[in-house]
Structure 1
């Protein structure tokens, strides 16, 4: 189970959350495509009891990546490939090279899949879209594309959500590695 300290690294928007339902809740049309949503938005605070139930896999909760003021705290890579260790290693090198020093990978429900949160801080939504697509293109030059990046302009705003992580995979904090370069 993930600790609240590890979750605090994400800076989750806790004023509301999304809960997965067994049926389609909403239908959206975005850029000529239809999207069917199984996550229902709940306009209530995200509490530690809900997070505990999620970690026990009784319910599935997702959190929003975009705040009400159109700010983004994290750029997130949803890795769905076959070699998480290799992805982590390559991503770590690329992010260090680009000057990012705070990022964390979390395990998801599916074994071998990761959510890599790059902690950016208060970033405007348009800048977040641009940075996410630039980093994705940079990753694509070094490894096969086995991820989706968030936030993305290609999905409706209510689809820029991610399921809460279950466990920390690995994390990078500060510049302790730079003394070895």
Structure 2
């Protein structure tokens, strides 16, 4: 994937997470224990690191929440069997709700997608509310085979996603909005 395709995400690049084979730390959140295999690296996410990830030598993740507790993207982590159907329904819903910039990326597993909805500077709480609202609206049309990010159900350290591998589809701009 080219650098231009990743720039559509507006990733937080002042740090990144790298997956380790062993558990890095144990986190308790809302009475549940989470075992974290991603280690935070407080260095900028460089092109060399992104290239190693693209060559599948390492697994790198980026954070969805910046140091000011703001969110740039709301993400559907789709893990179902019908990505075309999910993409079609999701793009119709997002257009109807007024979101005009969103991009779907393929993940390591074939058929699984990360659909990034580009929201801009949004507080973490507002991002979680929008994510829940979009999830509920889409679940009325499709069986729920996705998780939403950001989420308050997991610790802040778990609001990360692995870098995508390939672009699936993208919707940019407002050329269709004149018909609404």
Instruction: Find the aligned partners of 1:106 and 1:162 in 2 and give their Cα distance.
Output: 12
Instruction: Find the aligned partners of 2:130 and 2:86 in 1 and give their Cα distance.
Output: 19
Instruction: Find the aligned partners of 1:80 and 1:177 in 2 and give their Cα distance.
Output: 28
| Equivalent residue, structure 2, for 1:34 | 33
Instruction: Find the aligned partners of 1:13 and 1:180 in 2 and give their Cα distance.
Output: 34
| Equivalent residue, structure 2, for 1:153 | 152
| Equivalent residue, structure 2, for 1:97 | 96
Alignment size in residue pairs? 180
| Equivalent residue, structure 2, for 1:15 | 14
- TM superposition score normalised by structure 1: 0.98
Which stretch shows the higher mean deviation, 170-179 or 151-160?
170-179
| Equivalent residue, structure 2, for 1:165 | 164
Which stretch shows the higher mean deviation, 169-178 or 41-50?
169-178
Instruction: Find the aligned partners of 1:26 and 1:155 in 2 and give their Cα distance.
Output: 15
How far is the alpha carbon of 1:175 from its aligned partner?
A: 1.5
Q: Deviations over 1:91-149 (max 9, x none)?
A: 00000000000000000000000000000000011111111111111111111000000
- TM superposition score normalised by structure 2: 0.98
Q: Deviations over 1:55-108 (max 9, x none)?
A: 000000000000010000000000000000000000000000000000000000
How far is the alpha carbon of 1:178 from its aligned partner?
A: 3.0
How far is the alpha carbon of 1:177 from its aligned partner?
A: 2.2
Instruction: Find the aligned partners of 1:179 and 1:64 in 2 and give their Cα distance.
Output: 35
Alignment RMSD:
0.8
Instruction: Find the aligned partners of 1:130 and 1:180 in 2 and give their Cα distance.
Output: 28
| Equivalent residue, structure 2, for 1:85 | 84
Aligned ranges 1:169-180 → 2 under 5 Å:
169-180=168-179
Confirm whether residue 124 of structure 1 aligns to residue 123 of structure 2.
yes
Instruction: Find the aligned partners of 2:178 and 2:55 in 1 and give their Cα distance.
Output: 40
